[in-house]
Amino acid sequence: MAIHPPSERVWWNLPIARTELIWIIVAFLWGLTMFFMMIYWHGYGKQNLSNEAYRTTPEQFSAKVQAMVEKYKVREEAGIPVVRPPPGSEVYMLARLWQWYPILEFEKNQSYRLHLSSLDLQHGFSLQPVNINLQIHPGYEMVLSVQPDKAGTYGVVCNEYCGLGHHQMVGRIYVLDK
Amino acid sequence: MATASDFRTCPTTGLKVHLPAERLIKANAVAAVVFLAVGGLFGLLVALTRSPWAARLLPADWFYLALTAHGLDVLIVWIIFFEMAVLYFASAVILSSRIAAPRWAWTGFVLMVVGALIVNVAVLQGQSSVMFTSYVPMKAAPHFYLGIILFAVGALIGTFVFFGTLVVAKDEKTYEGSIPLVTFGALTAAIIAVFTIASGAIILIPTLLWSVGIVSYIDPLMYKTVWWAMGHSSQQINVAAHVSVWYAIAAMVFGAKPLSEKVSRMAFLMYILFLQLASAHHMLVEPGVSSTWKIFNTSYAMYLAVLGSMVHGMTVPGSIEAAQRAKGYTKGLFEWLRKAPWSNPAFSGMFLSLLIFGFLGGISGVVMGTEQINLIMHNTLYTPGHFHATVVGGTTLAFMAITYPLINLIFRRELVMKKVAQFQPYVFGLGIIGISLFMMAAGTLGVSRRHWDITFSDAPLAFDYPAAAFLMMGLNGLSAVLAALGGLMFVAVTVGSILFGAKIEGGAPAAKPKAAPAVAQYGSVQHPAIPGTVVLVAIFFISFVLYYFVNWKYLSEVWPLR
Ligand code: HEM
Ligand SMILES: [Cu+2]
Ligand SMILES: [Cu+2]
């Protein structure tokens, strides 16, 4: 029994049953498959993180955000500027207690370099309803290329707990047909 | 030196039980159950507050406070106290040895109690609603970190008492040959515990100093990497411990022998060898972590720790099937399972734990831990959905299951309310299946974890989750009530039995299970056929493969990004 010492003193020499051996081999090959699947997706899949990131400070990052807002602001909503940067450009969004700033306006099927960082605590960038989720750290500027493929109004929910106003922290991204 | 009067002989198992060890097991198990009750209550309140039909049961500040307390009291305090009991049982009792250094063990116990109380006070004071992960730069009161550190030091002492007991048993030759499989499993858990607690110290001691102003800055990304070296490996402790419990129950209820000692022990060893040192699957969508690092560290190239669990997933039911078939339940594929003692909560709890851990927890964990798929799940409710299947459906339910025989063997009491005990694993198990599935479903629909109000009614900008998400949250609340009822039944039976159960003296309360004939004899190779288990494993494997690729399909539908 499993609560007694093995009945055979030299248990390590006992042969392994065929069913067990087959399962070990199958499970091992499945593990390899899953490993190669991740690598395969880097080559052929369309959803991969670049992992491009830079050290930054709240001052540096908010200066970049502000510069973009001044250049491309088109209107305001609920006191937050709505910004429409040209396709292909560098786009910035910051997280702070408890706001995503500013609101962005993209064109469908165009690519943008989106820079994300936090000015205070960690926040979670949760783009809904597409359900893309990224962790945003203070001091780190994360850069990724996004290419929205459906027009619509998207919410940016904060999904890392960041204090009492966490559940009020919602941002917005518009994707226009053109 | 222990004297003979420090021992009693267990009438059921014939094991020599060292009385100081027995007292330590009792104390740790009781403390565990108390914190499970407290933590479970917080969990229920959280789940209700998140369901549309009891929304705002707790105000926002209390919600985040309760969620912090829930995570700490159940994930850390309940589980680790119980694991101490398991370690002492698997060493002193199973090896019929005296426990090494009982004074130290009590010191550890006291530190753990004091630490747990300090953390709870800190959280209830309201300045430490930082969640059990306490990600910097969010800051808790200093005694929040202090409490966790004291608790961990206590657990470390207990772990060394376990190692010491193994040495004592070997020196005093209380057993022959190799240590039993269950003890071996506990040993792997204890080895991982040392690594875990070391990582915890490396990160929490500086954080404590930071919270009092001695250290000025802690990098949030570094914090998370090291914190999860503790947080993730402690989950591997839980798995090693509850798999040992599965084997122990299979042995106690069926007299089951492992199909192959070699295979089962190798599978445990894999947990140590392929422990994810840097716990990469918590870092898949963080800024600036390279893909090579993520892929290598999530899988160590071939998912060998997962392989270990998949092996146990076959050998545990396989050993039960073999034992049952040897007893004559040989009809068809599943007579052995149909005729199993489903009204014995030790068995039903253990088997449900096996199913929930494998089918719900295991599969969802591997899928979520895939580098790119994590993008569509990270920090959504999918995550708590997954780990309630592992750490509640798997670990907690297994620990509940073994508590029933421990009440007979260690507390030497008959169970009270036997009918309640009989249904408890089903009620609790069903509730947990519910909360796991509904939280996972809500997460798939994008619902955030750790979130008080998914209607965003106070937010300046609006966003609407789909109606189905609210349905899932409502069903999650109902399942939580069921789970809480199952938890209450467990607490009622255990506390009732310890206080009021009929004392068991001398005479054997339950028939000693006849050891099943040896499964693999050297020379005359006699491997029993286990066709039922093969079918179960095949169903598992097909579900795994299908679900894995379905999620790649989901991923391929979101915005292209690089
Ligand atoms: C009556 C039983 C239980 C119920 C109804 C329950 C319910 C919940 C709910 C609704 C959440 C919140 C999810 C969120 O909003 O992010 C949660 C979080 C959690 N639960 Fe449970 N739970 C139960 C038992 C347990 C047990 C026994 C454990 C551990 C062994 C556990 C571990 C956790 C952890 C670690 C968290 C995460 C806390 C955090 O995000 O900081 N739960 N639970
Ligand atoms: Cu936030
Ligand atoms: Cu937040």
Residue B431 sits in a domain of what CATH number?
1.20.210.10
Q: Is B388 in the pocket of ligand 1 (CB under 6 A)?
A: yes
Residue B5 has pLDDT above 80, yes or no: no
Of all helices (H) and strands (E), which one includes residue B542? helix B531-556
**% of chain B exceeding 70 in pLDDT:** 94
Domain hosting B396: range is 341-503+528-562
For residue B415, tell me if it sits in a domain.
yes
Q: Quote the pLDDT of residue B4.
A: 63
Length of chain A: 178
Which of B384, B378, B354, B362 has its CA nearest to residue B472? B384
Residue B511 has pLDDT above 60, yes or no: no
Counting Cβ atoms within 10 Å, is residue A7 exposed (0-12), middle (13-18) or buried (19+)?
middle
Number of domains in chain B: 1
CA–CA distance, B112 with B312 (Å, rounded to integer): 31
Q: Which range is least confidently modeled, B252-266, B288-302, B496-510, B518-532?
A: B518-532
**% of chain A exceeding 70 in pLDDT:** 100
CA–CA distance, B52 with A149 (Å, rounded to integer): 32
The count of C-alpha atoms lying within 13 angstroms of the C-alpha of B175, restricted to the half-sphere facing its C-beta, is 28
- Which residues of chain B make contact with A96, given a CB cutoff of 8 A? none
Q: How many CB atoms lie within 10 A of CB B202?
A: 13
Please, what's the b/e burial string for A115-144 (b: 16 or more CB within 10 A of its CB; e: otherwise)? bbbbbbbbbbbbbbbbbbbbbbbbbbbbbb
* Mean pLDDT calculated for residue range B413-436: 96
Residue B525 has pLDDT above 80, yes or no: no
Q: Quote the pLDDT of residue B180.
A: 92
Q: Quote the pLDDT of residue B347.
A: 97
For residue B462, tell me if it sits in a domain.
yes
CA distance B477 to chain A (A): 19
Residue B363 has pLDDT above 70, yes or no: yes
Give me chain B's average pLDDT, please: 91
Q: Quote the pLDDT of residue B300.
A: 65
Whether residues B371 and A142 touch (CB distance < 8 A) is answered with no
Across the interface, which of B252, B285, B562 has its CB nearest the CB of A134? B285
For residue B116, tell me if it sits in a domain.
no
CA–CA distance, A104 with A82 (Å, rounded to integer): 6
Which of B165, B138, B17, B169 has its CA nearest to residue B84? B165
Interface confidence (ipTM) of the complex: 0.95
Q: Taking phi first (over 0 means left), then psi (-120 to 50 degrees means alpha), and beta for anything else, what does residue B300 get?
A: left
| Type of residue at B328 | G
CA–CA distance, B402 with B400 (Å, rounded to integer): 6
Strands A73-77 and A80-83: antiparallel
Whether residues B260 and A42 touch (CB distance < 8 A) is answered with no
CA–CA distance, A79 with A77 (Å, rounded to integer): 5
Q: What is the DSSP letter of B138?
A: S
Strands A123-128 and A152-158: antiparallel
**Residue closest by Cα to atom 41 of ligand 1:** B131
For residue B541, tell me if it sits in a domain.
yes
* Mean pLDDT calculated for residue range B513-538: 65
Across the interface, which of A49, A131, A168 has its CB nearest the CB of B456? A168
CA distance A61 to chain B (A): 15
For residue B467, tell me if it sits in a domain.
yes
Give me chain A's average pLDDT, please: 93
pLDDT in tens, A42-90: 999 999 988 889 999 999 999 999 999 999 999 999 999 999 999 999 9
pLDDT in tens, B45-73: 999 999 999 989 999 999 999 999 999 99
Q: Quote the pLDDT of residue B302.
A: 57
Q: Is B396 in the pocket of ligand 1 (CB under 6 A)?
A: yes
Nearest-5° Cα angle at A22, A20 to A27: 95
pLDDT in tens, B159-188: 999 999 999 999 999 888 899 999 999 999
What pLDDT band is residue B358 in, cutting at 50, 70 and 90?
Answer: very high
- Which residues of chain A make contact with B94, given a CB cutoff of 8 A? 3
Which of B272, B320, B231, B247 has its CA nearest to residue B86? B247
What pLDDT band is residue A11 in, cutting at 50, 70 and 90?
Answer: confident
For residue B138, tell me if it sits in a domain.
no
For residue B135, tell me if it sits in a domain.
no
Q: Is B242 in the pocket of ligand 1 (CB under 6 A)?
A: no
Smallest-distance ligand from the CA of A136: 2
Q: Is B484 in the pocket of ligand 1 (CB under 6 A)?
A: yes
Residue B527 has pLDDT above 80, yes or no: no
Q: Quote the pLDDT of residue B75.
A: 95
Q: Quote the pLDDT of residue B278.
A: 57
Q: What is the DSSP letter of B279?
A: -
Which of B514, B512, B520, B183 has its CA nearest to residue B319? B520
Whether residues A148 and B460 touch (CB distance < 8 A) is answered with no
Q: Could you tell me the maximum CA-CA distance found in chain B, to the nearest angstrom?
A: 76
Q: Where are the alpha helices (DSSP H) in B445-515?
A: 467-500
Give the nearest chain B residue to A50 (CA atoms): B562
* Mean pLDDT calculated for residue range B318-332: 92
* Mean pLDDT calculated for residue range B130-153: 94
Q: Quote the pLDDT of residue B99.
A: 93
For residue B79, tell me if it sits in a domain.
no
